[in-house]
Structure 1
Amino acid sequence: MDDKAEAQVQVRFVTKQEKYAVSDSPYAIKSNISTTELSTLINALLKETDSSITKSVDFDFLICGELLRSSVEEHLQEKGVSTEDTIELEYFERLPAPTPQDCLMHDDWVSAVHAHTNGILSGSYDNSIHIWTTKGQHKLAIPGHTSPVKAVSWVSFQDDRAVFVSGSHDQTAMLWVWNVSQNSVECVITCRGHDKGVECVAVSADAKKFVTGGWDTNICLWSASLDDVDHVPDKKKNKSEHGNSKVQKPQSTLQGHKECVSGVQWMDYNTVLSSGWDHLLKIWDCELGGIKQEIAGNKAFFDVDWSPLNNSMITASADRHIRLYDPRSTESIVKATYTSHTNWVQSVRWSKTRDTLFLSAGYDSKVKLWDTRSPVTPLYDLSGHEDKVMCCDWSNPSLLISGSCDNTLRIFKSKYATAGAQ
């Protein structure tokens, strides 16, 4: 007899999804049982309770706050939990795999993307910006920058007018107005203040201002209002560039990074988070112009994202790992490390509706969908790219988007756009 196969453990099943609730009495199960077998067991218990249930449901399981990705016995050993105890096993309906929707071709590397419920922006190494519908229809190709576009972001959608911002290695950021019904676009403000290329941009929640980070190690704070500008024509523009845009200079400049500023995000109306190639994360007070908090890493940071849903940040790094930080923690600030990419992680983005889900993109050509409670194994690999993935976005809860050096923008449809208790 195989003693290991016969070894048992007492478990109590609990769930926050009431329609799937079973008795919370302890059950004796094989200690080497897998997630698939546990899911089959829950379905059998549900059918015993309600004979009208005919469709089986795939479940995921949490033990000690972490998703089960091995046998129960192996999981408990890893967590140092005795198999003699009665184990609480929380379960919930497994998220379905995102489905491929579109593959949008560009003429060069796709280096920036930002989605809204009404449209998608992409930026490319051919210096152009593109507007797409959420269904993948190409609306406009926009010239104007004279170097690769490294950052794009929607500012606002109002009736028939949309405002967006782009940042480029030509050292400028540009504010654009898209007339949706006429499908025409105009650069109305050129933002000049960086001495080297602009690498990242983030718009505040109230759409009144935005920040840029650049290779000059500076972070510039700008007005996003189309009225708060000196009415001075931009004399540095080439004839081939758009319209009669006005020049804007930064409202303030935050100095403190020693190398390229790779990522910027707003944490609240006055607080900006930044990541740098200098191995540092910084939290800034924009009003005072000072640093509230500084967090040191051991490798260059290529991106950072902040979630108001869980008050945590995730980082993309040169050591192939993604890290989860809680800046409020008085103990270890790094709460988890995610270890599945095999090359640089270039971009990370939180879900806007689920506080445990995030997206990552890497130079290993992979895009991965993660649950924070599964640090070694992502929920899904979103396959398709054939070269380094430079950017990803989950601003539209229904769409997972990534851009790559294979000149494509890939869109996956999310089936779990709304918030859910798990």
Structure 2
Amino acid sequence: MASLAESAEASSSRVTAVQQQQQVPLTLKTSIPDLSLPPTSYLVPTNFSRAHLSTLVNRLLAQTANLTTTVPFDFIADGQLLRESLESWLDKNGKTVEEGIELEYIKSTLPPKWAGSFEHDDWVASIDASREGTFLTASYDSCIRLFSYASPQEAVLTHKVVSTGSSAQSLVDAKWLGSSSRIVTAAVDGTVRIFTVPEANFTSETPGQIPGAGRTAMGPSALTSLSVSPDGEAVLSASRDGSVGYWKVGDVEISPSEATGVDDQADEDAKRKRRKGVNGKASSALQAKKPSALLWHSPPALLNNDVYAPSNNARVSQAVFSKTSSEVAYSAGYDGKVVEWDLFGAIQGGNPKLSQKTSDKVILCLDSMSASARGSSSSAVCVTGHMDRSIGIWDMRSASANISLLLPNAHGAPVYTVSSHPQSPNLLCSASGDGVVKLFDTRSPRRALFSLARPQAAAPAGAVTGSSKEKLLASAWDCGGQVVLAGGEDCKVNIFRGEGIGIERPGLA
């Protein structure tokens, strides 16, 4: 009996050894410049996992590309990150070793870590972190604030934007105008305002305010978002009535004396709460400034006797410029459409609509991806967040009239904000009513790269992390793409700091 047991054990050991030595043909490819391997097939053991494969690729690159430093890699198989052994992946996907595996290798990214939070007096509506070392916010208390990463205790600049007299006071967005010292804001009362920030406020350690009034123009309806063109010379405003305003900055600006008069009038209207202000009618000075062009994402419906009203689901959630062109823009809204616009044609009086795609989604947010997204040489790719918790990728050049790629159940609640990485054409972050920030790679979209949330220890007493009480309404990347910022109902901007995010060439920081 002992000999039979020993024979069975030896046979089992031989079978195990054969299984461990089983090999699978492997094809390796990448989109990383200067780190591609010759197009050939490699036989590797099926028990290889990510770490083994990363070591293999580094050794091959040392021979073929003269790679002198070790680079950690992740691997994508059939659109999802490889998080197990090749054998497990084959079994899970119903494939055999004879079929082989094609893997795309990408630079590994470590998860960003929570680095702190910046307090606000009200909900955070928007974040602009495009300036190095600082970020700009707009909040529901109608204030714009400028923060320095080095000074989390208090904003270095705070300015209360005066309403035009409407009962609606909240700001919905604030952005830097290119590389200038000017800030543009949008509000629920329909105003687009431009402020000039004195240079001294950028370096001052003492909290200050923007002296004097801004330059003001009126949108056609309550606004929902802003976008600034790549050259900083134009602005898009999205409205609840289905329209998109295209503003040339030079057309918005008025003389300082006129601006002061307008804002004095607005301040007086707000104090007196005059009937015409409460009814939403602007002063004559404000009415004089109109968009350079008005685009109808969702045209109004004709009621009777030339009376028009916004159509059902007319609200435009967001309108953004292309990352590479100041003459191309995109809009998306509650009607489930994403529209591509020719702004030069709009100014010239031609047909401004370049393309349109539809869906059954209620779209809450929109951003355009960086150039070369999904193999493109332009930025004609958009990302949207939806009421049903999904995220959509839209290729506006595609012949299809629908979403190119849908990420269902991307979050546990409606997705209120999406933001594309400033450098990588494949990375994006999203934030939701579930209080969680997620990072996605469009090359492996089935599962988020990372989920980020404020640590429980950093939450205020009584707050429940990830609950509906802490909806995240705004998100942004810093200019280098290494910091993710998010804020919302918790009246804070939380900072998540990473390293090497979206940097695909070794040695670059």
Kindly name which structure, 1 or 2, has the bigger radius of gyration based on alpha carbons.
2
Aligned 8 A contact 1:145 1:170 in 2:
no
Whether 2:50 is the aligned partner of 1:35: answer: yes
Aligned residue for 1:276? 333
Give the CA RMSD over aligned residues.
3.4
Q: Which letter maps to 1:190?
A: T
Aligned residue for 2:432? 362
Aligned 8 A contact 1:343 1:362 in 2:
yes
Whether 2:153 is the aligned partner of 1:124: answer: no
Distance in 2 (alpha carbons) for counterparts of 1:17 and 1:277: 39
Q: Which letter maps to 2:472?
A: V
Aligned residue for 1:291? 353
Aligned residue for 2:499? 415
**Amino-acid identity (%):** 24
Distance in 2 (alpha carbons) for counterparts of 1:21 and 1:290: 45
Distance in 1 (alpha carbons) for counterparts of 2:23 and 2:146: 57
Structure 2 matches for 1:250-399, cutoff 5 A? 250-257=291-298, 258=311, 259-267=314-322, 268-286=325-343, 287=346, 288=350, 290-309=352-371, 310=373, 311=379, 312-331=381-400, 333-339=402-408, 340-384=410-454, 386=465, 387-394=470-477, 396-397=479-480, 398-399=482-483
Number of aligned residue pairs: 410
Distance in 2 (alpha carbons) for counterparts of 1:325 and 1:85: 32
Structure 2 matches for 1:142-161, cutoff 5 A? 142-146=159-163, 147-158=169-180
Aligned residue for 2:249? 224
Q: Which deviations, in whole Å up to 9, do the C-alpha atoms of 1:247-303 show, x marking residues without a partner?
A: 432222212324211111112322221111122212223323642222111121011
Distance in 2 (alpha carbons) for counterparts of 1:300 and 1:224: 31
1:140 maps to which of 157, 173, 178: 157
Classify the secondary structure of the residue corresponding to 1:130: strand
**Mean CA deviation greater in 253-262 or 81-90:** 81-90
2:231 maps to which of 206, 209, 222: 206
Aligned 8 A contact 1:20 1:46 in 2:
no
Aligned residue for 1:84? 98
Q: TM-score, normalised by structure 2?
A: 0.71
Higher share of residues assigned helix: 2
Q: TM-score, normalised by structure 1?
A: 0.85
Aligned 8 A contact 1:299 1:319 in 2:
yes
Aligned residue for 1:102? 116
**Mean CA deviation greater in 179-188 or 297-306:** 179-188
Structure 1 gaps of 5+ residues are: none
Q: Which letter maps to 1:229?
A: I
Q: Which deviations, in whole Å up to 9, do the C-alpha atoms of 1:353-390 show, x marking residues without a partner?
A: 11111111111111011111121221111221831110
Classify the secondary structure of the residue corresponding to 2:53: helix
Q: Which letter maps to 2:111?
A: A
Classify the secondary structure of the residue corresponding to 1:156: coil
Distance in 2 (alpha carbons) for counterparts of 1:128 and 1:275: 26
In structure 2, the CA distance between the partners of 1:74 and 1:343, relative to structure 1 (3 Å rule), is farther
Aligned 8 A contact 1:12 1:27 in 2:
no
Distance in 1 (alpha carbons) for counterparts of 2:252 and 2:226: 20
Classify the secondary structure of the residue corresponding to 2:490: coil
Whether 2:235 is the aligned partner of 1:178: answer: no
Classify the secondary structure of the residue corresponding to 1:179: coil
Distance in 2 (alpha carbons) for counterparts of 1:155 and 1:371: 29
Aligned 8 A contact 2:162 2:267 in 1:
no
Shift of 1:313: 0.7
Distance in 2 (alpha carbons) for counterparts of 1:141 and 1:330: 47
In structure 2, the CA distance between the partners of 1:365 and 1:145, relative to structure 1 (3 Å rule), is farther
Shift of 1:307: 2.1
Shift of 1:210: 0.4
Distance in 2 (alpha carbons) for counterparts of 1:187 and 1:82: 70
Aligned residue for 1:192? 218
Shift of 1:325: 1.0
Distance in 1 (alpha carbons) for counterparts of 2:422 and 2:84: 29
Distance in 1 (alpha carbons) for counterparts of 2:196 and 2:62: 60
Aligned 8 A contact 1:327 1:333 in 2:
no
Distance in 2 (alpha carbons) for counterparts of 1:23 and 1:308: 28
Classify the secondary structure of the residue corresponding to 1:157: coil
Shift of 1:26: 1.7
Structure 2 matches for 1:42-61, cutoff 5 A? 45=59, 58-61=72-75
Whether 2:26 is the aligned partner of 1:11: answer: yes
